[in-house]
Amino acid sequence: MPSARVASDVDLEALLELFRVANAGPVIKSVKRAQRVWRHLLNHDGLTVFVSEADGKILAACTLLTAPSLLHGGRWHAFIENVVTHPDFQGDGHTRTVVRAALARAWRMDCHHVLLQSDKGDVRLSRFYERCGFQTGSGTLYVARPHSTASMLRLEYFSG
């Protein structure tokens, strides 16, 4: 069974390679910028990157973000983001291992819930997350992007 660990400063290049191979999204091209962002991530309170590896190669990763809350008796809440798996190792337990490590950390921190967003319509992915302990949420996910009309109107309202 694979194991998970917290990522460290030496993992940047391997993570970037995983993101490229998995086609997870646009990867930072500038080495200096990537190093700067990675240092910021590693030093950011409430953020932990978990990885699973074999033979020195990172095969899965996810990021746990935690934040305190004045609601729910002061218990924290959490988000899991950037769940990425090497395409050649899907189904080998590496992804489940990093997700479960993130959940274990959240429960130790007394988070009242952990949120995770996934692509719509992927039944296999939905089943995978359900086996990890997630349930389909009640409610609607809203997303604002920096250059949407509504976001710009809100910025004007609050700055004016």
Per-residue pLDDT at 159: 46
Residue 158: the pLDDT is 46
Q: Distance between CA 55 and CA 127 in Å, rounded?
A: 28
CB contact set of 16 (below 8 Å; sequence gap of 6+): 27, 28, 34
Which domains are present in the chain?
Answer: 4-159 (3.40.630.30)
Q: For position 127, what pLDDT does the model report?
A: 79
Q: Can you give the pLDDT at residue 117?
A: 80
Closest CA to 113 of 82, 144, 84, 71: 71
Q: What is the mean pLDDT of each run of 10 residues along the chain (160 residues)?
A: 95 96 93 97 96 95 96 93 95 94 95 83 76 73 65 48
Nearest to 53 by CA among 87, 94, 12: 94
